[in-house]
């Protein structure tokens, strides 16, 4: 089973780190003090796969740049990871013929869905038989509006900084419209785990951190006044 965990904002929140070294609260961590990583909570779901006799992999599908909401590359990373794990002899699997299923929630659903999308052309030799997604992000604009001023409003700074990683044009454009407080929040979001971002920005209202009224055109990642 290939389990795509919900991604975070920093390396310290990624599965390979948080599952081994992560702590729910770490006052000394630059990503905290609340460093509860979503991947750690998902261990229970991964354990269910092990209980049923399967092999479970939890990759850092966001790559070294900790991508989130990125189209295409997370799918490539997932498929390359499946290739690597199924061909790793000590695991004792059947190579590309290994029956594989994917699962993911939120950011993990983004990676899993792109893996399914790219599977026929990028890695057709893999025996992927099914996939499950939870809360896949399909409409960023609608999600931003829904989260704004809500309890989970802290997800908005994460989304903005994540899109900025993928689109220098978007980053340059949004930077022109951010107030000093908005710029500080976005910069901080890049270095904090999701839980800390949400806690620090409860009921976040992006309109209070813009110097002009804008509309987000997510089809082209452009901003219009």
Tokens 């910069």, located at residue: 187
Strand order in the sheet with 2-4: 2-4, 100-105, 128-134
Do the Cβ atoms of 66 and 11 come closer than 8 Å? yes
Q: State the angle between helix axes of 107-122 and 73-86 in degrees (0 to 180), rounded to the nearest 10.
A: 70
| Torsions phi, psi for 67 (to 5 deg) | -70, 150
Percent of the chain predicted with pLDDT > 90: 28
Cα–Cα distances in Å, from 116 out to 101, 123, 133, 149?
Answer: 10, 10, 11, 34
| Cα gap 53→58, rounded to integer Å | 16
Return the structure tokens found at 165: 């990683």
Do the Cβ atoms of 84 and 57 come closer than 8 Å? no
- Asked if the model's pLDDT at residue 222 lies above 60, the reply is no
Contacts 24+ apart (CB under 8 A), 221-224: 221/163, 221/167, 221/169, 221/170, 222/169, 222/170, 222/173, 223/170, 223/173, 223/174, 223/177
Answering whether pTM is above 0.85, one says no
Pairing of strands 128-134, 100-105: parallel
Please tell me the number of Cα atoms within 13 Å of 82 on its side-chain side. Answer: 30
What is the rounded average pLDDT of the residues 186-191? 86
- Residue-range domain boundaries for the chain: 2-134, 140-224
Per the CATH hierarchy, to which homologous superfamily does domain 2-134 belong? Alpha/Beta hydrolase fold, catalytic domain (3.40.50.1820)
Query: What pLDDT sits at residue 120?
Result: 96
Return the structure tokens found at 157: 């700074």
Query: What pLDDT sits at residue 87?
Result: 92
pLDDT digits (tens, 9 = 90+) for 134-147: 887 778 888 888 89
Do the Cβ atoms of 1 and 93 come closer than 8 Å? no
pLDDT digits (tens, 9 = 90+) for 17-66: 777 776 677 777 777 787 766 656 677 878 888 888 888 888 878 776 77
What is the rounded average pLDDT of the residues 155-159? 88
- Please, what CATH class does the domain formed by 140-224 belong to? mainly alpha
CATH topology identical between 2-134 and 140-224: no
Q: State the angle between helix axes of 140-147 and 155-166 in degrees (0 to 180), rounded to the nearest 10.
A: 150
Query: What pLDDT sits at residue 107?
Result: 80
Q: What angle do CA 61, 39, 163 make, to 5 degrees?
A: 50
Cα–Cα distances in Å, from 44 out to 14, 48, 102, 177?
Answer: 17, 6, 16, 42
């Amino acid at each position: 089973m290939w389990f795509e965990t919900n991604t975070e904002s920093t390396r310290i929140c990624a599965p390979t780190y948080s599952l081994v070294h992560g702590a729910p609260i770490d006052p000394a961590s630059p990503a905290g003090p609340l460093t509860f990583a979503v991947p750690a909570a998902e261990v229970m779901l991964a354990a269910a796969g092990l209980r049923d006799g399967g092999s479970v992999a939890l990759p850092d599908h966001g790559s070294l740049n900790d991508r989130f909401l990125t189209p295409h590359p997370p799918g490539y990373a997932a498929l390359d990871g499946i290739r690597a794990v199924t061909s790793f002899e000590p695991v004792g699997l059947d190579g590309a013929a290994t029956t594989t299923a994917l699962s993911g929630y939120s950011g993990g659903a983004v990676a899993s869905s792109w893996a399914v999308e790219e599977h026929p052309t990028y890695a057709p030799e893999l025996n992927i038989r099914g996939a499950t997604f939870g809360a896949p992000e399909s409409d960023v604009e609608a999600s931003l509006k829904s989260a704004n001023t809500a309890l989970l409003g802290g997800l908005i700074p994460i989304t903005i900084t994540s899109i900025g990683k993928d689109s220098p044009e978007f980053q340059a454009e949004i930077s022109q419209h951010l107030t000093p407080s908005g710029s500080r929040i976005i910069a901080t979001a890049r270095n904090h785990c999701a839980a800390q971002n949400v806690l620090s920005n409860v009921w976040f209202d992006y309109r209070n951190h813009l110097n002009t009224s804008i509309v987000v055109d997510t089809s082209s990642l452009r901003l219009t006044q």
